[in-house]
Amino acid sequence: MYAAETGELVVQGDITDRTGTVLVPHVLLDWLEPGMTLPVEATDAPGAFLVSGDQVTAPEVLAQLRLADHETAVVVR
């Protein structure tokens, strides 16, 4: 998870079958600043949840994230 200069959060996680949704481990919540919230959705995967946002598609942003082949990123506003 990365904080953008615009105040948005960029969340990196495993690709799912839903565009604009990534699967992330629950420990990601430990990185949120006090008072910050992240809209999450429960999943059947143990120890993980889904985060939805705008799919990151800009090549220059994707290049900075160092994504593994099974990962993508979304922007949460």
pLDDT digits (tens, 9 = 90+) for 23-47: 999 998 888 888 888 889 999 999 9
Domains of the chain: total:
1
Q: Which residue shows structure tokens 């990962």?
A: 71
Q: Which two tokens stand for residue 62?
A: 């994707």
Kindly report the average pLDDT of the chain as a whole number.
92
pLDDT at 57: 95
pLDDT at 7: 83
Cα four-point dihedral sign 7, 23, 52, 71: positive
Nearby residues of 55 by Cβ (< 8 Å), 6 or more positions away = 19, 20, 72, 73, 74
Q: Residue 4: CA atoms inside 13 Å, Cβ hemisphere, count?
A: 16
The reported pTM is 0.89
Range of the domain at 12: 2-76
